[in-house]
Chain A
Amino acid sequence: AQSVAQPEDQVNVAEGNPLTVKCTYSVSGNPYLFWYVQYPNRGLQFLLKYITGDNLVKGSYGFEAEFNKSQTSFHLKKPSALVSDSALYFCAVRDIGGSTLGRLYFGRGTQLTVWP
Chain B
Amino acid sequence: EAQVTQNPRYLITVTGKKLTVTCSQNMNHEYMSWYRQDPGLGLRQIYYSMNVEVTDKGDVPEGYKVSRKEKRNFPLILESPSPNQTSLYFCASSPPLSYNSPLHFGNGTRLTVT
Contact = CB atoms under 8 A, between A and B. Distances in A.
Contacts of A101: 99
Contacts of B41: 108
B78 to A, nearest CB: 20
A42 B45 contact: no
Contacts of A90: 42-43
Interface majority SS on A: helix, strand, loop or mixed? loop
A116 interface: no
A43 interface: yes
Interface of B: 4, 31, 33, 35, 40-45, 48, 50, 58, 90, 92, 96, 99-100, 102-108
Interface residues of A, number: 24
Nearest to A44: B105
B107 A49 contact: no
Interface of A: 6, 9, 32, 34, 36, 41-46, 49, 51, 90, 94, 96, 101-104, 106-109
Contacts, number: 57
B40 A43 contact: no
A104 B90 CA distance: 14
A46 B90 contact: no
A34 B92 CA distance: 15
Given A42-B108, A43-B4, A43-B106, A107 B42 contact: yes
